[in-house]
Amino acid sequence: MALAVIVLLPSIIAVGIFIYGFIGWTFYISTVDWKSAVPDYTFVGLKNWIRMLNDRRFHADMRNLLFYAIGFMSQCILFGFLLATLLDQKIKGEAIFRTVFIFPFAVSGVVTGVAWRWLMQPTTGINLIFANIGLGWFQPDWFANVKYGIWAVTIAAAWQFTGYVMALYLAGLRGIPFELREAAAIDGAGTWATYRYVIIPLLMPVTFTVIVLTGMNSIRVFDLVATIGGSGAGFAIDTLALNMFQTTFGAYRFSLGAAIGAVMLLLATFLVLPYLMSMQRETER
């Protein structure tokens, strides 16, 4: 027991200082009046939180977070599951296809942002393809549009992350005993019924994990949006992380930036806590 404490003590101290210590520091800074390059630790209570909650940009960020999460999660889950299902059919060249599909996940968000910014330029890329195939009337301005700009960002994000989701689902599919599929076939279940009543329910733990991972990505997305073009007209593609960065290091409003960061921490906690509780119950079983 003593040896275990000695071995774990450095890690416990490091986690306590560099994770929970900085989390506490963030919440503390959000309650002071630090709004310039010169630190000011005058306590102002919830003044920064009230200012943040009344800010039009924060409202746009929360709306964008909701739309981004819906679009990003649904695309990753749908296409990730479909790709995993196709690869699970033992097709020829599976290793090649698996590598091709998962490769975008290894690409940084900056590179992804640059590539998709070019692809979705109003006069080039995808719009040029539309014009060449007779759809010249369909020339959306993608990221600049307040109504669907954030949905366009989810396409780029899903392109990068779907391969990883596919790998998770493929591992889950390969972990399902073949006897269960045989039993379903003997009972007269077709392919659709087998997936609906046997395979998909057994993959719910994987889906739960995917929801947590994509949800965390939705809350903290920064590099992709910053590379694509910043917050956009009317905060069309603005995010909490980008708002926090620009508020803190651009406008030097450190306390307001800390309040935004604290909101991100709270959102992440509400997302991860049910997952951790579920994992704890599974462990106890």
- Break the chain into its structural domains and give their ranges: 26-284
Q: Which structure tokens are listed for 258?
A: 């800390």
Q: Please state which architecture CATH assigns to domain 26-284.
A: Orthogonal Bundle (1.10)
Q: Which structure tokens are listed for 216?
A: 């965390």
Task: Measure the CA–CA gap between 231 and 239, rounded to whole angstroms.
Answer: 7
Reported pTM: 0.90
Task: Measure the CA–CA gap between 246 and 178, rounded to whole angstroms.
Answer: 53
In one-letter notation, the amino acid at residue 262 is: A
User: Which pLDDT value is given to residue 70?
Assistant: 96
Low-confidence residues of the chain: pLDDT under 70 = 231-232, 285
pLDDT tens, residue by residue, 37-92: 888 999 999 999 999 999 999 999 999 999 999 999 999 999 999 999 999 988 88
87 vs 39, 100, 167, CA distance in Å?
A: 56, 12, 10
Place of tokens 């943040």: 52
